[in-house]
Amino acid sequence: MPDRVIVEVDEDLSDLIPGFMAHKRADINTIFDAVTRRDYAEVGRIAHRVKGEGGSYGFDTMTEIGRSLEHAAATRDGGAVTTLARQLLSYLDRVEVVFQPAKD
């Protein structure tokens, strides 16, 4: 797949990453549904979670997109929310996780 994004993650998280990625995909679907309903509070809650969790797991781009999504939700910008949700989905489609030994 073109434009792969390599993310190095601590091997101690290897059991958690598949579920985490599946949950982020579910979050994107919820964002699309919420923006259709103009439920920007729901988008904001999910965006805040994406922002925090991305950095916790080492997905800095996810954190950046989450931050932008949070702002778009706060300003009730449905077009930006949709665009950013698509960017997050594209990112998830392109990311390749490489597990690294834990650093002492």
pLDDT(1) > 80: no
pLDDT digits (tens, 9 = 90+) for 52-80: 999 999 999 999 999 999 999 999 999 99
Question: Residue 12 in 3-state DSSP?
Answer: helix
pLDDT category of residue 8 using cuts at 50, 70 and 90? very high
pLDDT(104) > 70: no
Long-range contacts at 12-19 (CB < 8 A, ≥ 24 apart): 12/102, 13/57, 13/99, 14/99, 16/57, 17/57, 17/97
State the Cα angle at 79 between 73 and 80, rounded to 5°: 55
For domain 5-12+26-98, the CATH architecture is Up-down Bundle (1.20)
The structure's pTM equals 0.93
CB atoms within 10 A of CB 54: 23
d(C-alpha 84, C-alpha 34), whole Å: 14
